[in-house]
Structure 1
Amino acid sequence: MDLGGRTVVVTGGTRGVGAGIARAFARAGADVVVCARRPPEVPVEGVGFASVDLRDPPAVRDFFDALPRVDVLVNNAGGSPYLPLAESDAERHARVIELNLIAPLTASLAAHRHLRRAKGAVVMIGSVSGTRPSPGTAAYGAAKAGLENLARSMAVEWAPDVRVNTLVVGMVRTERSHLHYGDEDAVAAVARTVPLGRLAEPYDVGEAAVFLASDAAAYISGASLLVHGGGERPAFLDAATANKES
């Protein structure tokens, strides 16, 4: 899929999934800019960087106003520490929602005039946490559920000029996987719970994002594309005894 001549902005694209998305668009020939508060520890080859606090609406507007064009916006910035609801205050949970839901809305609004002029596309990076219970990251899951709904509404309001879709991403192997799953043995055990037998790589998410932004997806808007390796095996199947060989 050739995206030569198009300008792509990836929020939070300095490491992990975001860096994989940026690399995928660069391979497709796009001019890519990633924006985050801090520069990448390892620069992504062929990708520009801009320092932007996505929770600062005036700064976000200034960033997009300074760009000559934007054809694709990938709202990737987000995340959450392990934070059980009753072990923190409402203000801290609100900051998680701000980063994962309000910041994508802020960036999308700031980029809207560019995207409308370019007949462009928005790709939201959602999560399976927004489609199922998310104990330990409940505010994050709620924000991702809201993000998916926001994308569907944007797809209707901004049609036919701008397409808006969501990637619903499952577990991904990144340089920070050990913080979520533990050592390599634990990561391997978690990977065995995925029907395809492995965690996603940032490359997998990047290629899916390129597809949704490309002309190959020209009639796809308001959709949610699952990138989760087949999902999660229902726990009851392993607990049930009926129909098992003795």
Structure 2
Amino acid sequence: MSETGRGKVAIVTGGTRGIGAAIVRRLLAEGYAVATCGRTPPEQPVGIDGKQAEFDACDIRDPAAVAAWIEALAARHGRIDLVVNNAGGSPQADAATASPRFSERILQLNLLAPLHVSQAAYPHLKAAGGSIVNIASVSAVRPSPDTAIYGAAKAGLVSLTTSLAQEWGPEVRVNAIIVGLIETETAEMTYGSAAAQDRIAASLPLGRMGRGSDIAEAVNFLASPAAAYISGAKLEVHGGGERPLFLEIVKQESAKG
């Protein structure tokens, strides 16, 4: 494997578990020095083949903390080539009763934090001719009942992606990945039992849910010279997309007849 990231520095927010950890491992394998952050350190460092990501405690919802973290990284490494805004998520919440504080926190994590990280890293990315990859979600492009504010935040992140690509080009490329249904350590909390997950997987055109490695490969591609003319893109990594419910209803009703 050619190491197109050799000598380069990448930031991956939320890179201690799940999709983020898969992205970190893929970039380490590609030769990047990788830095990640969180409010608490992982039980074990994230790494592969003897290479480990750096970890710093940082609440990315705090713009001042983000700016200090990014500047410390730039001083330590002398450059920043790639930012992956991966940290995000939301518990389910009834939109009719969700508190203002809850909604603000979800917006902070999923929309404002990527903006703060990107702003702080921008001068370093500009100097390096680097790029940003924003990890969005299918919730950004289809209804997201029970996680409405999360869907709205991710939709905002997609819009932010296209706007920054226009504003910061040609020095900095900015792209987004529309992430589909993914197997993670907490899949049961999101999708239910193993049987339910099997049914969901079977409903997708590619016959399985996504894996962290699928998203990591997409990140590596968008950060690579192979994507040199790709900016403002919304790369859908969702296995072909979710089957419309009405088709199942039609199928079931037809079977009755």
Q: TM-score range by the shorter chain?
A: over 0.9
Which of residues 41, 49, 53 in structure 2 aligns to 1:47? 53
Match of 2:26?
24
One-letter code of the match for 2:70? F
Residue segments in structure 1 that go unaligned for 5+ positions in a row: none
Tell me which residue corresponds to 1:95: 105
| Residue deviations 1:111-143 (CA, integer Å, cap 9, x gap) | 001000000000000000010110000000000
Task: Calculate the TM-score normalised by the size of structure 2.
Answer: 0.92
| Aligned residue number for residue 5 of structure 1 | 7
Q: Letter of the aligned partner of 1:141 in structure 2?
A: G
* Aligned twin of 1:211: 221
Partner of 1:62: 68
Gaps of 5+ in 2: none
Is 1:80–2:90 an aligned residue pair?
yes
Q: How many residues align?
A: 246
Separation in 1 of the partners of 2:216 and 2:43?
Answer: 20
Output one character per residue of 1:144-201: Cα deviation in whole Å (capped at 9) or x when no partner.
Answer: 0000000000000000000000000011101011111122112112212211111111
Match of 2:96, SS state, is helix
Rounded Cα–Cα distance in structure 2 between residues aligned with 1:92 and 1:199: 29
SS in 2 for 1:240: helix
Partner secondary structure for residue 164 of structure 1: strand
Give the letter for the 2:67 counterpart. Answer: R
2:41 counterpart SS class: coil
- The runs of at least 4 consecutive aligned structure 1 residues that moved more than 4 Å come to none
Give the alignment's TM-score, normalised by structure 1: 0.96
1:34-183 alignment runs, 5 A limit:
34-45=36-47, 46-67=52-73, 68-183=78-193
Residues 241/82 of structure 1: CA separation in 2 closer, same or farther (3 Å cut): closer
What is the letter of the counterpart of residue 156 of structure 1?
Q
Whole-angstrom distance in 2 between the partners of 1:182 and 1:82: 14
C-alpha change, 1:195 and 1:8, in structure 2 (3 Å) is same
Q: Tell me by how many angstroms 1:241 deviates.
A: 5.4
Same amino acid, percent of matched pairs: 50
